[in-house]
Amino acid sequence: MNIWIIMTAIMVLSIIVQQMLQSRFSKYSKVGLPSGMSGAEVAQKMLRDHGIYDVKVVPTNGMLTDHFNPQTKTVALSESVYASRSVAAAAVAAHECGHAVQHATGYAPLRMRSALVPVVNFASNIVQWVLLAGVLTINIFPGLLIFGIILFASTTLFSFITLPVEINASSRAISWLSRTGITDSRTQPMAVDALKWAAYTYVVAALGSLATLLYYIGLSRRD
């Protein structure tokens, strides 16, 4: 029963964090940068400042769909970030470039996460069906549920390895924005706040994954 209380609390917390993130992004999207640079210009400058010239900055559809792709060597910025000259856009653009810097410098947690990607992709495609079948046949084939738990554990591990990757990327972004004067004493706290709430989404996701994992482990131990 306790695990259900925890899972419900995490679900509610996730909704609150998502709403706060969207609220902060919307608020800081209306605040202009002192430097007047667009998200794309911020990204290009951060890459150049770190000696990275083989990564392109490109626009992508959607909202908060920004990401760094090491395979294609692109920093993809969403429509609300690429051309925007706001504090929110600068924070997001610098954060994604933080991942590019991690890749260029061989940041260990990022290497670990990248190594897990094939495993997690495989696990994500079948884990829900394996767990369902495992629960339904627990008295006949208990090993099937154990296999599902192992698959789900890989996704949980991935969620926790993601935390230092995201936090470090934000730290690099915040430091660089301040050091280069792209943000000032008024706008720097806004950039910090925006990235803080973005980081919270990963924390809640990791906790939710852990709670779910513990739930299935509990099921497997029932007589």
Confidence of residue 7 (pLDDT cuts 50, 70, 90): confident
* Domain assignments of the chain as residue spans, ordered by start: 2-33+86-98+105-220
Task: Say how many residues make up the chain.
Answer: 223
Long-range contact pairs involving 7-10 (C-beta distance under 8 Å, separation at least 24) = 7/208, 7/211, 7/212, 7/215, 10/204, 10/207, 10/208, 10/211
Cβ density class 134-156: b for 16+ within 10 Å, e for less = beeebeeeeebbbbbbebbbbbb
Give me the chain's average pLDDT, please.
93
pLDDT digits (tens, 9 = 90+) for 132-165: 999 999 888 889 999 999 999 999 999 999 999 9
Is 96 part of the annotated catalytic residue set? yes
List all residues 6 or more positions away from 146 whose beta carbon is below 8 Å from its beta carbon: 134, 220
**Largest distance between two CA atoms of the chain:** 66
Residue 223 pLDDT exceeds 80:
no
Q: Which residue has the tokens 């696990």?
A: 123
